[in-house]
């Protein structure tokens, strides 16, 4: 489940244990109980959710110019090839029919 978190500065009294660098302040994360749509900070997701988001982003990504060119050429060339093939068969059938 994605979490909404804010990065906040923690004062010396509120720092977690283990900070021994001698600085007065440190940064920490505060989890907010908000819907993801209203999150004003960062959204943390699990690795599985990240993979799913990556797949969804790839599905709805804009195609590259090469993909558009390939689709256009396929859409243009297939009807032309089908027409020329049908015309060639019709020519052969008419030629055979006239010679009998």
* Residue pLDDT, tens place only, 41-67: 888 888 888 888 888 888 888 999 999
Residue with tokens 């004003």: 40
pLDDT in tens, 3-49: 888 888 766 555 555 555 555 566 778 888 888 888 888 888 888 88
Residue 25 near residue 8, CB atoms below 8 Å: no
The pTM for the full model equals 0.41
31 closest CA partner among 43, 22, 20, 19: 43
The residues spanned by each domain of the chain are 1-61, 62-100
Compute how many other C-beta atoms are within 10 angstroms of the C-beta atom of residue 4. 19
- What tokens does 85 get? 């093939």
């Amino acid at each position: 489940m994605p979490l909404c978190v804010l990065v906040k500065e923690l004062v010396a009294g509120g720092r977690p244990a283990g900070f021994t660098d001698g600085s007065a302040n440190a940064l920490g994360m505060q989890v907010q109980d908000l819907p993801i749509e209203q999150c004003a900070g960062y959204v943390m997701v699990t690795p599985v959710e990240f993979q799913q988001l990556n797949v969804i982003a790839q599905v709805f990504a804009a195609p590259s110019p090469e993909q558009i060119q390939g689709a256009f050429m396929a859409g243009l060339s297939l009807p032309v090839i089908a027409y020329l093939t049908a015309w060639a068969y019709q020519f052969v059938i008419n030629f055979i029919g006239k010679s009998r």
